[in-house]
Each structure stands twice: as C-alpha cells, then as structure tokens.
Amino acid sequence: VEEGTEFAKLHEAGELPLPSEEEEREMYWLANERLTQAGYIHYEISNYARQGMESMHNLGYWSDKQYIGAGLGASSYWLGDRFDNTDDMDAYIAADGNLNQIRTLVQKGTRELQMEECLFLGLRKMEGIDLEKYNRRFGDPFENEYKESFEKLKKEGLLTVEGGYLKLTEKGIDVSNYVFAYFIH
C-alpha cells in the first residue's frame, strides 16, 4: 500500500481490507489463465500484452538498457551509474544547462551492483536471463558467482535454466521477492 494515497487512507481506516496472501495468489493465477486464454502474452511478472504490443519502456528497465533523462527532475542510467536532475526549478534555471550543477549521482554502478540488478530485474521477464550474455558481460560465469544460491533455489523448485535462460518457475513467481533476495549481497 503506497503511503499518502487515497487507498492507504481507506485501508488505515479499515474501509478497504486487503486480500490474504493466498487470495492474492489465486487472483494472480486466475488473471493469468483468463488473459492467456484471451490471447495475451505473459511477458513480465506483472504484465501481459498482445504479441508485439509489449511495453518497450518497462522492458528497457528489466533488460538493463541505458537511458538519459532530460529536464527538471529527470533520472538517467548510464554506464551502470544512476543520476537524478534537481527538481528545484530555480536551481535548474540558474544552472543554465551545466550538468554538474543540476545532476546528482544517486548510485555508483559497481560491478557487484550491476550483477545484482541484472539478475533481479532480468528475472522479472518471463523469458528470463540469457546466461551466455550475462557471463560474457561480467566475465565470471553465473554458476561460479551464485552457485550456492542457484542450487538451493533450483532444489526448492523456484529457478530453472531452459535453453540457456535462467528463469523463475511458476512456484518461483509466487515468491519472486524471496528469490530476488538471494542475488542481493
């Protein structure tokens, strides 16, 4: 429940109860069944679309694509680093286009952080993560870096490798945050 929203106010007042975790999962899989029957493709944990109509914007995030945000309050992701532009209009105008004055480094993209993000964001996609591409990018095979975590999650039936892609199983989708936590140090 997002703080400060009308939904949060109603929930706090007891006027809008939330479903149980079990009910939530049943609703998720019912929606999956109905959308699939209607011809929608389940391309990301929480998104469906007609063939060719997938959100390129969201897929960019899940696929670790770089982007530059321009303007007041914009965010950027470049060469593994995350930046934000100021949201102070006066400061933005006074900077007269000087990026050093309007942009702040939010997060330095260390190798470890980039590996983690590649895994937990990439696992949001139903196709999963191309392990060959991952290993080429980081120069250290996935199986060596995360062998213990992978073996445990595979044994629990939460992760699998199919056609060279690391992906969540149906059971893994239900506890995806639990799975993602194994790839964050």
3-state secondary structure 128-166: CEEHHHHHHHHCCCHHHHCHHHHHHHHHCCCEEEECCEE
Per-residue pLDDT at 106: 84
First vs last Cα of the chain: how many Å apart? 26
Per-residue pLDDT at 108: 87
- Reported as a single tens digit per residue, the pLDDT across 143-164 is 788 989 999 999 999 999 999 9
| Collapsed DSSP state (helix, strand, coil) of residue 170 | helix
- Reported as a single tens digit per residue, the pLDDT across 32-80 is 999 999 999 999 999 999 999 999 988 888 888 999 999 999 999 998 8
126 DSSP β-pair partners: none
> Does the model's pTM come out above 0.85?
no
Per-residue pLDDT at 164: 95
Q: How many CB atoms lie within 10 A of CB 185?
A: 7
